[in-house]
Structure 1
Amino acid sequence: MITETFRTADAKLTVFLNGPNWDGIPAATFGNFSCKSSEAGAEILQKGMEKVRSAGIDRIIGPMSGDTWHSYRFVSDSDGSDPFMMEPTNKPHEPDVFRAAGFAEISRYFSARVALQAATASAPPETDGYVLEAWDGSDPEALFRQVFALSTRAFSNNAFYKPISEADFMAMYLPIVPMLKRELILFARRHDGTLAGFLFGIPNYAEGPNPTSAILKTYASLEPGAGRHLAHKFHKTAFGMGFENAIHALIHDDNTSADRSAAEGATIFRRYTLLGQKLNG
Protein backbone atom coordinates (compact mmCIF):
# COMPACT_ATOMS: atom_id res chain seq x y z
CA MET A 1 0.00 0.00 0.00
CA ILE A 2 1.48 3.35 -1.08
CA THR A 3 1.14 5.71 1.86
CA GLU A 4 2.51 8.90 3.32
CA THR A 5 1.71 10.28 6.76
CA PHE A 6 1.63 13.99 7.52
CA ARG A 7 1.93 15.27 11.08
CA THR A 8 1.87 18.63 12.75
CA ALA A 9 1.69 19.53 16.42
CA ASP A 10 -2.12 19.48 16.27
CA ALA A 11 -3.11 17.15 13.44
CA LYS A 12 -2.24 13.99 11.52
CA LEU A 13 -3.32 12.35 8.27
CA THR A 14 -2.27 9.32 6.26
CA VAL A 15 -2.68 9.44 2.49
CA PHE A 16 -3.25 6.09 0.76
CA LEU A 17 -2.62 6.58 -2.95
CA ASN A 18 -3.84 3.17 -4.13
CA GLY A 19 -7.36 3.22 -2.71
CA PRO A 20 -10.45 1.58 -4.20
CA ASN A 21 -12.26 2.63 -7.34
CA TRP A 22 -14.98 5.25 -7.09
CA ASP A 23 -17.44 4.91 -9.97
CA GLY A 24 -14.84 2.86 -11.80
CA ILE A 25 -12.05 5.42 -11.40
CA PRO A 26 -9.06 4.90 -9.04
CA ALA A 27 -9.17 7.04 -5.91
CA ALA A 28 -6.85 7.90 -3.08
CA THR A 29 -8.08 7.75 0.51
CA PHE A 30 -7.46 9.84 3.61
CA GLY A 31 -7.23 7.84 6.83
CA ASN A 32 -5.90 7.99 10.39
CA PHE A 33 -7.13 11.58 10.56
CA SER A 34 -7.33 13.61 13.73
CA CYS A 35 -7.03 17.27 14.58
CA LYS A 36 -7.24 19.36 17.74
CA SER A 37 -8.68 22.34 15.87
CA SER A 38 -10.43 23.03 12.59
CA GLU A 39 -7.53 25.23 11.48
CA ALA A 40 -4.99 22.46 12.09
CA GLY A 41 -7.22 19.98 10.26
CA ALA A 42 -7.65 22.26 7.26
CA GLU A 43 -3.89 22.75 7.01
CA ILE A 44 -3.10 19.05 6.98
CA LEU A 45 -5.90 18.22 4.55
CA GLN A 46 -4.40 20.70 2.11
CA LYS A 47 -1.06 18.90 2.39
CA GLY A 48 -2.79 15.63 1.64
CA MET A 49 -4.65 17.04 -1.33
CA GLU A 50 -1.44 18.41 -2.78
CA LYS A 51 0.09 14.95 -2.46
CA VAL A 52 -2.84 13.36 -4.29
CA ARG A 53 -2.73 15.93 -7.11
CA SER A 54 1.02 15.43 -7.54
CA ALA A 55 0.39 11.69 -7.95
CA GLY A 56 -2.02 12.39 -10.83
CA ILE A 57 -5.11 11.22 -8.92
CA ASP A 58 -8.22 13.40 -8.84
CA ARG A 59 -10.54 11.52 -6.46
CA ILE A 60 -10.28 11.20 -2.68
CA ILE A 61 -12.41 9.14 -0.29
CA GLY A 62 -12.33 9.67 3.44
CA PRO A 63 -12.03 8.88 6.13
CA MET A 64 -10.76 5.49 5.02
CA SER A 65 -7.53 3.76 5.95
CA GLY A 66 -6.83 2.44 2.47
CA ASP A 67 -9.87 0.21 1.97
CA THR A 68 -13.15 -0.91 3.53
CA TRP A 69 -11.45 -3.83 5.32
CA HIS A 70 -9.85 -1.27 7.63
CA SER A 71 -11.27 1.66 9.57
CA TYR A 72 -13.48 4.05 7.60
CA ARG A 73 -16.50 6.40 8.06
CA PHE A 74 -17.18 9.37 10.33
CA VAL A 75 -19.74 9.28 13.10
CA SER A 76 -22.28 11.86 11.93
CA ASP A 77 -25.09 11.51 14.49
CA SER A 78 -25.33 9.77 17.86
CA ASP A 79 -27.53 9.27 20.89
CA GLY A 80 -24.47 9.86 23.05
CA SER A 81 -23.98 6.24 24.11
CA ASP A 82 -20.43 4.93 24.47
CA PRO A 83 -18.67 3.50 21.40
CA PHE A 84 -18.95 -0.24 20.99
CA MET A 85 -16.02 -2.52 20.31
CA MET A 86 -14.42 -2.01 16.87
CA GLU A 87 -16.58 1.01 16.12
CA PRO A 88 -15.03 4.00 14.32
CA THR A 89 -14.79 7.16 16.42
CA ASN A 90 -13.91 10.79 15.78
CA LYS A 91 -14.08 14.23 17.36
CA PRO A 92 -17.36 16.07 16.63
CA HIS A 93 -15.69 18.83 14.61
CA GLU A 94 -13.68 16.57 12.30
CA PRO A 95 -16.37 15.79 9.68
CA ASP A 96 -16.94 19.53 9.23
CA VAL A 97 -13.22 19.99 8.54
CA PHE A 98 -13.53 17.59 5.61
CA ARG A 99 -16.67 19.31 4.34
CA ALA A 100 -15.04 22.73 4.55
CA ALA A 101 -12.23 21.36 2.37
CA GLY A 102 -14.70 20.40 -0.35
CA PHE A 103 -15.72 16.86 0.62
CA ALA A 104 -19.36 15.76 0.35
CA GLU A 105 -21.28 12.68 1.45
CA ILE A 106 -21.03 9.69 -0.87
CA SER A 107 -22.34 6.88 1.36
CA ARG A 108 -24.34 6.48 4.60
CA TYR A 109 -24.45 3.83 7.32
CA PHE A 110 -25.98 3.21 10.73
CA SER A 111 -25.82 1.03 13.84
CA ALA A 112 -28.96 -0.08 15.66
CA ARG A 113 -29.79 -1.73 18.96
CA VAL A 114 -32.48 -4.31 19.67
CA ALA A 115 -33.59 -6.14 22.81
CA LEU A 116 -32.78 -9.80 22.21
CA GLN A 117 -35.97 -11.04 23.78
CA ALA A 118 -37.92 -9.14 21.13
CA ALA A 119 -35.57 -10.07 18.29
CA THR A 120 -36.05 -13.80 18.91
CA ALA A 121 -39.84 -13.59 18.72
CA SER A 122 -40.25 -14.16 14.97
CA ALA A 123 -38.39 -16.93 13.17
CA PRO A 124 -37.77 -16.99 9.40
CA PRO A 125 -39.47 -19.66 7.27
CA GLU A 126 -37.89 -23.09 7.55
CA THR A 127 -35.48 -24.17 4.84
CA ASP A 128 -33.75 -27.40 3.90
CA GLY A 129 -31.21 -25.73 1.62
CA TYR A 130 -28.52 -25.40 4.26
CA VAL A 131 -27.71 -26.26 7.85
CA LEU A 132 -26.66 -23.74 10.50
CA GLU A 133 -23.77 -24.55 12.78
CA ALA A 134 -21.53 -22.74 15.24
CA TRP A 135 -17.75 -22.72 15.05
CA ASP A 136 -16.38 -25.58 17.13
CA GLY A 137 -13.65 -23.41 18.62
CA SER A 138 -10.77 -25.25 16.96
CA ASP A 139 -8.23 -24.13 14.37
CA PRO A 140 -8.91 -20.37 14.20
CA GLU A 141 -6.70 -20.03 11.13
CA ALA A 142 -8.97 -22.42 9.22
CA LEU A 143 -11.98 -20.47 10.49
CA PHE A 144 -10.73 -17.16 9.13
CA ARG A 145 -9.56 -18.68 5.87
CA GLN A 146 -13.16 -19.77 5.29
CA VAL A 147 -14.48 -16.36 6.30
CA PHE A 148 -11.98 -14.63 4.01
CA ALA A 149 -12.86 -16.80 1.02
CA LEU A 150 -16.58 -16.21 1.37
CA SER A 151 -16.16 -12.49 2.16
CA THR A 152 -14.20 -11.84 -1.02
CA ARG A 153 -17.05 -13.38 -3.05
CA ALA A 154 -19.96 -11.85 -1.14
CA PHE A 155 -18.56 -8.32 -0.91
CA SER A 156 -16.86 -8.02 -4.30
CA ASN A 157 -19.72 -6.01 -5.84
CA ASN A 158 -19.99 -3.57 -2.94
CA ALA A 159 -19.21 0.08 -3.56
CA PHE A 160 -15.58 0.97 -2.80
CA TYR A 161 -14.60 -2.70 -2.53
CA LYS A 162 -10.92 -3.45 -2.92
CA PRO A 163 -9.43 -6.93 -2.46
CA ILE A 164 -6.75 -7.63 0.11
CA SER A 165 -4.52 -10.66 0.56
CA GLU A 166 -5.43 -13.55 2.81
CA ALA A 167 -2.29 -12.83 4.83
CA ASP A 168 -3.39 -9.25 5.50
CA PHE A 169 -6.87 -10.45 6.45
CA MET A 170 -5.44 -13.00 8.89
CA ALA A 171 -3.19 -10.36 10.44
CA MET A 172 -6.28 -8.23 11.15
CA TYR A 173 -8.41 -10.92 12.76
CA LEU A 174 -6.19 -13.51 14.44
CA PRO A 175 -5.20 -11.11 17.28
CA ILE A 176 -8.84 -10.97 18.45
CA VAL A 177 -9.24 -14.76 18.68
CA PRO A 178 -8.91 -14.77 22.52
CA MET A 179 -11.98 -12.51 22.72
CA LEU A 180 -14.22 -14.66 20.52
CA LYS A 181 -17.14 -16.74 21.70
CA ARG A 182 -17.43 -19.75 19.43
CA GLU A 183 -21.22 -19.81 19.82
CA LEU A 184 -21.46 -16.41 18.11
CA ILE A 185 -19.47 -17.45 15.02
CA LEU A 186 -22.00 -19.10 12.74
CA PHE A 187 -21.98 -20.85 9.37
CA ALA A 188 -24.68 -21.84 6.92
CA ARG A 189 -23.50 -24.95 5.09
CA ARG A 190 -25.04 -26.57 2.07
CA HIS A 191 -25.54 -30.32 2.26
CA ASP A 192 -22.34 -30.87 0.27
CA GLY A 193 -20.41 -29.03 3.00
CA THR A 194 -19.76 -25.84 1.06
CA LEU A 195 -20.44 -22.49 2.69
CA ALA A 196 -23.64 -20.63 1.88
CA GLY A 197 -23.01 -17.90 4.45
CA PHE A 198 -21.35 -16.88 7.70
CA LEU A 199 -21.99 -14.55 10.62
CA PHE A 200 -19.31 -13.03 12.83
CA GLY A 201 -20.54 -11.91 16.24
CA ILE A 202 -18.62 -10.83 19.31
CA PRO A 203 -19.46 -9.63 22.85
CA ASN A 204 -19.24 -5.88 23.24
CA TYR A 205 -16.17 -5.88 25.48
CA ALA A 206 -16.13 -2.08 25.34
CA GLU A 207 -18.69 -2.43 28.17
CA GLY A 208 -16.17 -4.31 30.31
CA PRO A 209 -15.43 -7.99 31.06
CA ASN A 210 -19.13 -8.89 31.48
CA PRO A 211 -20.96 -7.10 28.65
CA THR A 212 -24.73 -7.16 28.30
CA SER A 213 -24.62 -6.56 24.52
CA ALA A 214 -23.47 -8.79 21.68
CA ILE A 215 -22.38 -7.25 18.37
CA LEU A 216 -23.57 -8.64 15.07
CA LYS A 217 -20.40 -7.42 13.39
CA THR A 218 -20.59 -8.93 9.90
CA TYR A 219 -22.61 -11.43 7.99
CA ALA A 220 -22.63 -12.42 4.36
CA SER A 221 -24.41 -15.02 2.30
CA LEU A 222 -24.34 -16.51 -1.17
CA GLU A 223 -27.85 -17.96 -0.91
CA PRO A 224 -31.09 -15.97 -0.58
CA GLY A 225 -32.39 -16.09 2.98
CA ALA A 226 -29.22 -17.48 4.56
CA GLY A 227 -28.37 -14.14 6.14
CA ARG A 228 -31.79 -13.89 7.77
CA HIS A 229 -31.48 -17.41 9.21
CA LEU A 230 -28.00 -16.67 10.51
CA ALA A 231 -29.16 -13.43 12.16
CA HIS A 232 -32.06 -15.21 13.88
CA LYS A 233 -29.73 -17.93 15.12
CA PHE A 234 -27.34 -15.27 16.42
CA HIS A 235 -30.12 -13.45 18.32
CA LYS A 236 -31.44 -16.69 19.80
CA THR A 237 -27.99 -17.90 20.82
CA ALA A 238 -26.93 -14.58 22.34
CA PHE A 239 -30.16 -14.39 24.34
CA GLY A 240 -29.59 -17.91 25.63
CA MET A 241 -26.06 -16.90 26.71
CA GLY A 242 -27.49 -14.13 28.89
CA PHE A 243 -26.95 -11.11 26.66
CA GLU A 244 -29.74 -8.53 26.81
CA ASN A 245 -29.21 -6.55 23.59
CA ALA A 246 -27.80 -7.00 20.12
CA ILE A 247 -25.99 -4.29 18.21
CA HIS A 248 -26.49 -4.42 14.44
CA ALA A 249 -23.20 -2.80 13.53
CA LEU A 250 -22.27 -0.49 10.67
CA ILE A 251 -24.97 -1.30 8.13
CA HIS A 252 -25.16 0.49 4.79
CA ASP A 253 -28.44 2.40 4.44
CA ASP A 254 -29.26 0.64 1.17
CA ASN A 255 -28.37 -2.89 2.29
CA THR A 256 -31.03 -5.58 2.61
CA SER A 257 -29.89 -6.09 6.20
CA ALA A 258 -31.05 -2.52 6.94
CA ASP A 259 -34.62 -3.61 6.19
CA ARG A 260 -34.17 -6.74 8.30
CA SER A 261 -32.82 -4.73 11.23
CA ALA A 262 -35.84 -2.44 11.13
CA ALA A 263 -38.25 -5.39 10.83
CA GLU A 264 -36.73 -6.94 13.94
CA GLY A 265 -37.51 -3.78 15.90
CA ALA A 266 -33.99 -2.39 16.16
CA THR A 267 -33.60 1.31 16.94
CA ILE A 268 -30.87 3.35 15.26
CA PHE A 269 -28.53 4.95 17.79
CA ARG A 270 -25.62 6.01 15.56
CA ARG A 271 -25.22 7.20 11.99
CA TYR A 272 -22.06 7.41 9.91
CA THR A 273 -21.02 9.02 6.66
CA LEU A 274 -18.30 8.46 4.09
CA LEU A 275 -17.15 11.54 2.23
CA GLY A 276 -15.49 12.10 -1.10
CA GLN A 277 -14.13 14.81 -3.35
CA LYS A 278 -13.38 15.01 -7.08
CA LEU A 279 -10.49 17.45 -7.29
CA ASN A 280 -11.12 18.25 -10.95
CA GLY A 281 -14.88 17.91 -10.77
Structure 2
Amino acid sequence: MTKQLRESAGARANLYSNGPEWDGAATATIGEFKCESPEEGAALLRSICDEVRMQGITRVLGPMSGNTWHSYRLVTESDGTPPFLMEPQSGSHDLAAFESAGFSPVSRYVSARVTPEAGIGPDPDLMPGIEIANWDGSAPEAHFAEVHALSTRAFAGNAFYQPIGLDAFLALYMPFVPLLKPDLIFTARDAATGALQGYLFGIPNYGHGANPDTVILKTYASLRHGLGHHLAQAFHLRARDLGYAQVIHALIHEDNASADRSRRHGGEVFRRYALMGRVLDD
Protein backbone atom coordinates (compact mmCIF):
# COMPACT_ATOMS: atom_id res chain seq x y z
CA MET A 1 0.00 0.00 0.00
CA THR A 2 1.69 3.17 -1.25
CA LYS A 3 0.79 6.65 -0.08
CA GLN A 4 1.79 9.97 -1.61
CA LEU A 5 1.68 13.22 0.34
CA ARG A 6 -0.28 16.08 -1.22
CA GLU A 7 -0.13 19.56 0.28
CA SER A 8 -1.51 23.00 -0.52
CA ALA A 9 -2.05 26.21 1.40
CA GLY A 10 -3.84 25.27 4.61
CA ALA A 11 -4.43 21.60 3.79
CA ARG A 12 -2.67 18.25 3.46
CA ALA A 13 -3.59 14.62 2.80
CA ASN A 14 -2.18 11.34 1.58
CA LEU A 15 -3.27 9.83 -1.73
CA TYR A 16 -3.56 6.05 -2.05
CA SER A 17 -3.97 4.98 -5.68
CA ASN A 18 -5.02 1.35 -5.14
CA GLY A 19 -8.15 1.52 -3.03
CA PRO A 20 -10.94 -1.04 -2.71
CA GLU A 21 -13.48 -1.51 -5.46
CA TRP A 22 -16.64 0.57 -5.43
CA ASP A 23 -19.49 -0.99 -7.42
CA GLY A 24 -16.90 -2.95 -9.38
CA ALA A 25 -14.79 0.09 -10.26
CA ALA A 26 -11.25 0.82 -9.10
CA THR A 27 -10.79 3.64 -6.60
CA ALA A 28 -8.22 5.92 -5.12
CA THR A 29 -8.56 6.91 -1.48
CA ILE A 30 -7.65 10.04 0.46
CA GLY A 31 -6.41 9.60 4.01
CA GLU A 32 -4.86 11.57 6.88
CA PHE A 33 -6.74 14.64 5.69
CA LYS A 34 -6.27 17.93 7.54
CA CYS A 35 -7.35 21.45 6.67
CA GLU A 36 -7.45 24.88 8.26
CA SER A 37 -10.67 25.95 6.52
CA PRO A 38 -13.39 24.34 4.38
CA GLU A 39 -12.26 26.33 1.35
CA GLU A 40 -8.60 25.31 1.63
CA GLY A 41 -9.57 21.69 2.28
CA ALA A 42 -11.96 21.57 -0.67
CA ALA A 43 -9.34 23.08 -2.98
CA LEU A 44 -6.88 20.31 -2.13
CA LEU A 45 -9.52 17.60 -2.51
CA ARG A 46 -10.53 18.92 -5.94
CA SER A 47 -6.88 19.02 -6.98
CA ILE A 48 -6.40 15.39 -5.90
CA CYS A 49 -9.53 14.36 -7.80
CA ASP A 50 -8.20 16.06 -10.95
CA GLU A 51 -4.94 14.14 -10.54
CA VAL A 52 -6.76 10.85 -10.03
CA ARG A 53 -8.92 11.45 -13.10
CA MET A 54 -5.76 11.90 -15.18
CA GLN A 55 -4.67 8.43 -13.98
CA GLY A 56 -7.87 6.94 -15.40
CA ILE A 57 -9.49 6.29 -12.01
CA THR A 58 -13.11 7.45 -11.79
CA ARG A 59 -13.97 6.79 -8.13
CA VAL A 60 -12.50 8.42 -5.00
CA LEU A 61 -13.21 7.50 -1.37
CA GLY A 62 -12.30 9.33 1.80
CA PRO A 63 -11.29 9.74 4.42
CA MET A 64 -9.67 6.32 4.09
CA SER A 65 -6.05 5.41 4.69
CA GLY A 66 -5.84 2.99 1.80
CA ASN A 67 -8.51 0.46 2.80
CA THR A 68 -10.98 -0.41 5.57
CA TRP A 69 -8.33 -2.27 7.59
CA HIS A 70 -6.90 1.17 8.37
CA SER A 71 -8.51 4.38 9.58
CA TYR A 72 -11.54 5.53 7.60
CA ARG A 73 -14.80 7.53 8.02
CA LEU A 74 -15.31 11.11 9.16
CA VAL A 75 -17.46 12.36 12.01
CA THR A 76 -20.75 13.89 10.87
CA GLU A 77 -22.51 14.32 14.25
CA SER A 78 -21.29 14.19 17.84
CA ASP A 79 -22.51 14.91 21.35
CA GLY A 80 -19.06 16.23 22.20
CA THR A 81 -17.84 13.35 24.35
CA PRO A 82 -14.09 12.66 24.01
CA PRO A 83 -13.00 10.13 21.38
CA PHE A 84 -12.64 6.53 22.49
CA LEU A 85 -9.68 4.25 21.83
CA MET A 86 -9.10 3.59 18.10
CA GLU A 87 -11.96 5.89 17.07
CA PRO A 88 -11.45 7.89 13.86
CA GLN A 89 -11.30 11.63 14.50
CA SER A 90 -12.14 14.56 12.26
CA GLY A 91 -11.23 18.21 12.17
CA SER A 92 -13.97 20.80 12.51
CA HIS A 93 -13.86 21.64 8.77
CA ASP A 94 -13.46 18.15 7.30
CA LEU A 95 -17.10 17.42 6.49
CA ALA A 96 -17.68 20.82 4.89
CA ALA A 97 -14.50 20.45 2.83
CA PHE A 98 -15.50 17.05 1.46
CA GLU A 99 -19.02 18.23 0.67
CA SER A 100 -17.75 21.38 -1.06
CA ALA A 101 -15.42 19.23 -3.18
CA GLY A 102 -18.35 17.18 -4.50
CA PHE A 103 -18.21 14.21 -2.14
CA SER A 104 -21.31 12.68 -0.57
CA PRO A 105 -21.86 9.84 1.93
CA VAL A 106 -21.62 6.36 0.45
CA SER A 107 -21.81 4.49 3.77
CA ARG A 108 -22.94 5.59 7.23
CA TYR A 109 -21.98 4.35 10.71
CA VAL A 110 -22.79 5.01 14.37
CA SER A 111 -21.31 4.47 17.80
CA ALA A 112 -23.69 3.98 20.71
CA ARG A 113 -23.41 3.45 24.45
CA VAL A 114 -25.42 1.18 26.67
CA THR A 115 -25.14 -0.21 30.18
CA PRO A 116 -23.96 -3.83 30.29
CA GLU A 117 -27.26 -4.82 31.90
CA ALA A 118 -29.28 -3.28 29.07
CA GLY A 119 -27.08 -5.05 26.52
CA ILE A 120 -27.96 -8.45 27.97
CA GLY A 121 -30.96 -9.88 26.20
CA PRO A 122 -32.90 -13.13 26.35
CA ASP A 123 -30.73 -16.19 25.91
CA PRO A 124 -30.22 -16.76 22.17
CA ASP A 125 -31.26 -20.01 20.57
CA LEU A 126 -28.91 -22.90 21.24
CA MET A 127 -26.25 -23.63 18.64
CA PRO A 128 -25.31 -27.31 19.05
CA GLY A 129 -21.70 -28.11 18.30
CA ILE A 130 -20.37 -24.63 19.14
CA GLU A 131 -18.20 -23.83 22.14
CA ILE A 132 -17.70 -20.21 23.24
CA ALA A 133 -14.74 -19.41 25.45
CA ASN A 134 -12.24 -16.68 26.20
CA TRP A 135 -8.89 -16.50 24.50
CA ASP A 136 -6.37 -17.64 27.12
CA GLY A 137 -3.88 -14.90 26.24
CA SER A 138 -1.18 -17.28 24.98
CA ALA A 139 0.50 -17.38 21.56
CA PRO A 140 -0.89 -14.05 20.31
CA GLU A 141 0.58 -14.40 16.82
CA ALA A 142 -1.11 -17.77 16.33
CA HIS A 143 -4.36 -16.41 17.74
CA PHE A 144 -4.40 -13.41 15.41
CA ALA A 145 -3.41 -15.60 12.46
CA GLU A 146 -6.65 -17.54 13.07
CA VAL A 147 -8.56 -14.28 13.37
CA HIS A 148 -7.06 -13.09 10.08
CA ALA A 149 -8.07 -16.27 8.26
CA LEU A 150 -11.65 -16.05 9.54
CA SER A 151 -11.91 -12.29 8.89
CA THR A 152 -10.92 -12.64 5.25
CA ARG A 153 -13.83 -15.04 4.80
CA ALA A 154 -16.41 -13.30 6.99
CA PHE A 155 -15.83 -9.81 5.57
CA ALA A 156 -15.32 -10.77 1.93
CA GLY A 157 -18.86 -9.77 0.95
CA ASN A 158 -18.73 -6.37 2.63
CA ALA A 159 -18.77 -3.19 0.58
CA PHE A 160 -15.31 -1.71 0.07
CA TYR A 161 -13.63 -4.90 1.27
CA GLN A 162 -10.04 -5.45 0.16
CA PRO A 163 -7.94 -8.46 1.26
CA ILE A 164 -4.94 -7.94 3.49
CA GLY A 165 -1.97 -10.27 3.93
CA LEU A 166 -1.17 -11.92 7.24
CA ASP A 167 2.03 -9.95 7.84
CA ALA A 168 0.23 -6.64 7.32
CA PHE A 169 -2.63 -7.79 9.55
CA LEU A 170 -0.27 -8.76 12.36
CA ALA A 171 1.51 -5.42 12.04
CA LEU A 172 -1.82 -3.70 12.73
CA TYR A 173 -2.88 -5.73 15.75
CA MET A 174 0.23 -7.02 17.51
CA PRO A 175 1.08 -3.57 18.96
CA PHE A 176 -2.20 -3.73 20.92
CA VAL A 177 -1.42 -7.07 22.58
CA PRO A 178 -0.04 -5.50 25.79
CA LEU A 179 -3.36 -3.66 26.22
CA LEU A 180 -5.60 -6.67 25.72
CA LYS A 181 -7.66 -8.31 28.46
CA PRO A 182 -8.33 -11.94 27.49
CA ASP A 183 -11.53 -11.80 29.58
CA LEU A 184 -12.95 -9.48 26.90
CA ILE A 185 -11.91 -11.53 23.86
CA PHE A 186 -14.16 -14.42 22.90
CA THR A 187 -13.83 -17.26 20.43
CA ALA A 188 -16.47 -19.62 19.09
CA ARG A 189 -15.18 -22.99 17.90
CA ASP A 190 -16.53 -26.12 16.33
CA ALA A 191 -16.71 -28.51 19.28
CA ALA A 192 -15.69 -31.47 17.15
CA THR A 193 -12.79 -30.02 15.17
CA GLY A 194 -11.73 -26.97 17.17
CA ALA A 195 -11.94 -24.82 14.04
CA LEU A 196 -12.60 -21.14 14.70
CA GLN A 197 -16.13 -20.18 13.67
CA GLY A 198 -16.34 -16.70 15.17
CA TYR A 199 -14.66 -14.19 17.44
CA LEU A 200 -15.41 -11.01 19.36
CA PHE A 201 -12.78 -8.42 20.22
CA GLY A 202 -13.42 -6.12 23.19
CA ILE A 203 -11.00 -3.76 24.90
CA PRO A 204 -11.21 -1.28 27.79
CA ASN A 205 -11.53 2.32 26.67
CA TYR A 206 -7.96 3.31 27.47
CA GLY A 207 -8.56 6.49 25.50
CA HIS A 208 -10.10 7.79 28.75
CA GLY A 209 -7.32 6.69 31.10
CA ALA A 210 -5.57 3.66 32.57
CA ASN A 211 -8.58 2.42 34.57
CA PRO A 212 -11.65 3.22 32.48
CA ASP A 213 -15.21 2.40 33.50
CA THR A 214 -16.15 1.86 29.86
CA VAL A 215 -15.40 -1.08 27.59
CA ILE A 216 -15.52 -1.15 23.79
CA LEU A 217 -17.17 -3.86 21.75
CA LYS A 218 -14.86 -3.25 18.81
CA THR A 219 -15.32 -6.07 16.30
CA TYR A 220 -17.01 -9.40 15.90
CA ALA A 221 -17.25 -11.76 12.98
CA SER A 222 -18.59 -15.23 12.39
CA LEU A 223 -19.14 -17.83 9.71
CA ARG A 224 -22.53 -18.96 11.02
CA HIS A 225 -25.75 -16.94 11.15
CA GLY A 226 -26.74 -16.12 14.71
CA LEU A 227 -23.34 -16.76 16.23
CA GLY A 228 -22.66 -13.04 16.64
CA HIS A 229 -25.67 -12.82 18.97
CA HIS A 230 -24.15 -15.50 21.21
CA LEU A 231 -20.79 -13.71 21.28
CA ALA A 232 -22.39 -10.34 22.07
CA GLN A 233 -24.43 -11.89 24.88
CA ALA A 234 -21.30 -13.41 26.42
CA PHE A 235 -19.48 -10.09 26.13
CA HIS A 236 -22.18 -8.02 27.86
CA LEU A 237 -22.46 -10.56 30.66
CA ARG A 238 -18.70 -10.37 31.18
CA ALA A 239 -18.71 -6.56 31.08
CA ARG A 240 -21.35 -6.57 33.82
CA ASP A 241 -19.44 -9.08 35.92
CA LEU A 242 -16.22 -7.05 35.62
CA GLY A 243 -17.99 -3.93 36.88
CA TYR A 244 -17.93 -1.75 33.77
CA ALA A 245 -20.49 1.05 33.82
CA GLN A 246 -20.89 1.37 30.05
CA VAL A 247 -20.32 -0.53 26.83
CA ILE A 248 -19.54 1.26 23.57
CA HIS A 249 -20.95 -0.40 20.46
CA ALA A 250 -18.26 0.97 18.18
CA LEU A 251 -18.42 2.03 14.55
CA ILE A 252 -21.45 -0.02 13.48
CA HIS A 253 -22.79 0.21 9.94
CA GLU A 254 -26.20 1.77 10.49
CA ASP A 255 -28.01 -0.79 8.34
CA ASN A 256 -26.65 -4.04 9.72
CA ALA A 257 -28.00 -6.42 12.34
CA SER A 258 -25.63 -5.11 15.01
CA ALA A 259 -27.11 -1.61 14.75
CA ASP A 260 -30.63 -3.01 15.03
CA ARG A 261 -29.67 -5.07 18.07
CA SER A 262 -28.02 -2.06 19.69
CA ARG A 263 -31.19 0.00 19.20
CA ARG A 264 -33.38 -2.74 20.63
CA HIS A 265 -31.20 -2.84 23.75
CA GLY A 266 -31.45 0.90 24.29
CA GLY A 267 -28.17 1.91 22.68
CA GLU A 268 -27.81 5.71 22.77
CA VAL A 269 -26.08 6.97 19.62
CA PHE A 270 -23.45 9.56 20.54
CA ARG A 271 -21.50 9.77 17.28
CA ARG A 272 -22.32 9.39 13.60
CA TYR A 273 -19.84 8.94 10.78
CA ALA A 274 -19.75 8.69 7.01
CA LEU A 275 -17.43 7.37 4.37
CA MET A 276 -17.52 9.90 1.57
CA GLY A 277 -17.23 9.19 -2.13
CA ARG A 278 -17.12 11.01 -5.43
CA VAL A 279 -17.72 9.66 -8.93
CA LEU A 280 -15.51 11.53 -11.37
CA ASP A 281 -17.11 10.48 -14.65
CA ASP A 282 -20.65 11.70 -14.00
TM bucket normalised to smaller: over 0.9
1:135 — aligned with what?
A: 135
Amino acid at match of 1:75: V
Task: Give the Å deviation of 1:114.
Answer: 0.5
2:24 — aligned with what?
A: 24
2:163 — aligned with what?
A: 163
**Alpha-carbon distance between aligned partners in 2 of 1:61 and 1:127, rounded to the nearest angstrom:** 39
**Alpha-carbon distance between aligned partners in 1 of 2:154 and 2:127, rounded to the nearest angstrom:** 21
1:44 — aligned with what?
A: 44
Q: Which runs of 5 or more residues in structure 1 are unaligned? A: none
1:108 — aligned with what?
A: 108
What is the SS of the residue equivalent to 2:75?
Answer: strand
What is the SS of the residue equivalent to 1:259?
Answer: helix
Q: Tell me the TM-score normalised to structure 2 length.
A: 0.97
2:75 — aligned with what?
A: 75
- Contact in 1 for aligned 2:38/2:100 (Cα 8 Å): no
Moved more, 117-126 or 253-262: 117-126
Sequence identity percentage: 51
**Alpha-carbon distance between aligned partners in 2 of 1:247 and 1:38, rounded to the nearest angstrom:** 31
Q: Does 1:258 align with 2:237?
A: no
2:206 — aligned with what?
A: 205
Q: Tell me the TM-score normalised to structure 1 length.
A: 0.97
Give the count of matched residue pairs. 281
Task: Give the Å deviation of 1:120.
Answer: 2.5
CA RMSD of aligned residues (A): 1.2
What is the SS of the residue equivalent to 1:47?
Answer: helix
What is the SS of the residue equivalent to 1:274?
Answer: strand
Amino acid at match of 1:252: H
Show the 5 A alignment for 1:212-227.
Answer: 212-227=213-228
1:96 — aligned with what?
A: 96
Amino acid at match of 1:232: Q
1:7 — aligned with what?
A: 7
Q: Which runs of 5 or more residues in structure 2 are unaligned? A: none
**Alpha-carbon distance between aligned partners in 2 of 1:226 and 1:237, rounded to the nearest angstrom:** 17
What is the SS of the residue equivalent to 1:19?
Answer: strand
Amino acid at match of 1:144: F
**Alpha-carbon distance between aligned partners in 1 of 2:34 and 2:236, rounded to the nearest angstrom:** 36
**Alpha-carbon distance between aligned partners in 2 of 1:9 and 1:104, rounded to the nearest angstrom:** 24
**Alpha-carbon distance between aligned partners in 1 of 2:253 and 2:222, rounded to the nearest angstrom:** 16
**Alpha-carbon distance between aligned partners in 1 of 2:218 and 2:38, rounded to the nearest angstrom:** 32
**Alpha-carbon distance between aligned partners in 2 of 1:260 and 1:119, rounded to the nearest angstrom:** 9
Moved more, 7-16 or 20-29: 7-16
Moved more, 209-218 or 89-98: 89-98
**Alpha-carbon distance between aligned partners in 1 of 2:213 and 2:127, rounded to the nearest angstrom:** 31
2:33 — aligned with what?
A: 33
1:270 — aligned with what?
A: 271
Amino acid at match of 1:131: E
- Contact in 2 for aligned 1:147/1:198 (Cα 8 Å): yes
- Contact in 2 for aligned 1:117/1:244 (Cα 8 Å): no
Amino acid at match of 1:101: A
What is the SS of the residue equivalent to 1:160?
Answer: coil
**Alpha-carbon distance between aligned partners in 2 of 1:38 and 1:118, rounded to the nearest angstrom:** 40
1:148 — aligned with what?
A: 148
1:240 — aligned with what?
A: 241
Deviations 1:23-58 (A, max 9, x none): 001111111101111222122213311221221111
